[in-house]
Amino acid sequence: MAMPEQIVQIETALRARFFPYVPKVEIAGREDWTEDQHDLDRLSRALSGYALVGLSGIDDALAAGAITDGKDDGGIDALYFDRPGNRLILIQSKFKRTGASPSQAENLKTINGIRAIQSRQFDGFNQAFQSRLDEIEEALDTPGVPMEVVLCFLGNTANLSPHVTNDLNALQAEINGLTERMSWRAVGREAIHGWLLAEQVPANVDAQITLENWAGVTAPRKAVYGQIRAAALAEIVANNGSALFQRNLRHYLGSIGINVAIERTVRGQPGDFFYLNNGLTAVAERITQAVGTPAQCAFGLTNVSIVNGAQTAGAIANAAISGEISANAKVLITIIEIGAQGDDIGFRITRARNHQNVVRGIDFAALDPEQERLRQELALLGITYYYRPSAEARTRRDDAFTLEEAVVAMACLSFPVLTSDDIGRLRRPNHAVDFVVTAKNEVGRLWDQEGSYYARLFDGHTSGLRMCRLVQIFRFVDLILAATERSENAYHRRMFFRHGRFFVMAFVAHRSADVIRRAEATLSTADRTLLSQRTNELAEMIYAQSEALQAVKGYLSIFRNLTDSQPLADGVLRRLSEQDAQRDVLPLPPPN
The fold of 3-199 is Restriction Endonuclease (3.40.91)
Task: For the chain, give every domain's residue range.
Answer: 3-199, 207-359, 384-582
Element (H, E) at 79: strand 78-82
Percent share of the chain, pLDDT over 70: 90
pLDDT tens, position by position, 530-550: 999 999 999 999 999 998 887
Instruction: Label residue 14 exposed, middle or buried (CB < 10 Å: 0-12, 13-18, 19+).
Output: buried
Looking at the DSSP bridge assignments, the partners of residue 476 are: none
Strands of 387-542 (E only): list them: 400-402
pLDDT tens, position by position, 224-235: 999 999 889 988
Looking at the DSSP bridge assignments, the partners of residue 224 are: 216, 335
Is the CB of residue 188 less than 8 Å from the CB of residue 156? yes
User: What is residue 428's predicted lDDT score, i.e. its pLDDT?
Assistant: 62
Is the CB of residue 316 less than 8 Å from the CB of residue 331? yes
Which of residues 88 and 349 earns the better pLDDT score? 88
Q: How much is the mean pLDDT over the chain?
A: 86
Query: CA-to-CA distance for 139 and 128, rounded, in angstroms?
Result: 17
Longest Cα–Cα distance of the chain, Å, equals 103
Query: CA-to-CA distance for 129 and 42, rounded, in angstroms?
Result: 18
Rg (CA), the chain: 30
Q: How far is CA 231 from the centre of its chain?
A: 34
Measured between alpha carbons, how far is residue 482 from residues 372, 433, 500 in Å? 32, 20, 11
Which of 88, 22, 106 is CA-nearest to residue 52? Answer: 88
Cβ neighbors of 385 (< 8 A, separation 6 or more) are 374, 375, 378, 379, 400, 401, 402, 403, 406, 464
Measured between alpha carbons, how far is residue 159 from residues 25, 162, 275 in Å? 31, 8, 66
User: Treating both helix axes as pointing N-terminal to C-terminal, what angle do 525-550 and 562-584 enclose, rounded to 10 degrees?
Assistant: 120
What percent of the chain is helix, strand and coil (3-state, nearest 5)?
A: 55, 15, 30
Percent share of the chain, pLDDT over 90: 55
Least confident of 180-184, 199-203, 458-462, 545-549: 199-203
Per-residue pLDDT band at 147 (split at 50, 70, 90): very high
Is the CB of residue 441 less than 8 Å from the CB of residue 561? yes
Q: How far is CA 507 from the centre of its chain?
A: 28
pLDDT tens, position by position, 333-364: 999 898 876 556 555 555 555 544 444 555 56
User: What is residue 185's predicted lDDT score, i.e. its pLDDT?
Assistant: 95
As a whole number, mean pLDDT of residues 23-36 equals 81
Which of 558, 557, 576 is CA-nearest to residue 566? Answer: 558
For 327, how many CA atoms within 13 A lie in the half-sphere containing its CB? 2
Query: CA-to-CA distance for 421 and 67, rounded, in angstroms?
Result: 61
Annotate 315-341 with b (16+ C-beta within 10 A) or e (fewer).
Answer: bbbbbbeeeebbeebbbbbbbbbbeee
As a whole number, mean pLDDT of residues 182-201 equals 92
User: What is residue 260's predicted lDDT score, i.e. its pLDDT?
Assistant: 65
